[in-house]
Amino acid sequence: MKIIKSDYSQDFNGSHRKYYDLPSARIIDVKHFDNTKESWHVHLLTTEVLFILEGKIEARTHGNIRKIVNENEVVSFESNEWHIIKPLTPTTRILAFKYINNSKSDTLDTIKDDWKGL
């Protein structure tokens, strides 16, 4: 067992972010405030998964696809997918998970079956 601590945090575009780094993934605790300014961006190698802990956001991708993502919902963006998010509540908290998706095969089945109890 290993406890992962945040060694780095920053205020960025009206949000506060704490970073938790693992060997092949990064988890970011993001607190958005009223003045958050997100911009269009893309992740070249990583898939990004956002779990909305508090509040709600509007998520958009190029092609003008828009979705409202509420508290306790998850949205993901594949690598090379341009996207932007807009917090829709005065304070919004998101847990972002970024990982490199090396395999497009049966990875989910492997994860689902990777448990053995006593």
pLDDT tens digits, one per residue of 16-75: 999 999 888 899 999 998 778 788 999 988 999 999 999 999 999 998 899 999 999 999
For 8-112, the fitting CATH number among 3.30.420.40, 2.60.120.10, 3.40.309.10, 3.40.140.10 is: 2.60.120.10
Residue 99 to residue 26: CA distance in whole angstroms: 7
Domain boundaries, the chain: 8-112
**Maximum Cα interatomic distance, the chain, rounded to a whole number of Å:** 50
Secondary structure class of 63 (helix, strand, coil): coil
Is residue 88 a contact partner of residue 42, using CB atoms and an 8 Å limit? no
The HSE-up count of residue 69 (CA atoms within 13 Å, CB side) is 25
Give one DSSP letter per residue of 55-101, joined into a string.
Answer: S-EEEEETTTEEEEE-TT-EEEE-TT--EEEEE-SSSEEEEEEEEE-
pLDDT category at 85 given cuts 50, 70, 90 is very high
- Is-above-0.75 flag for pTM? yes
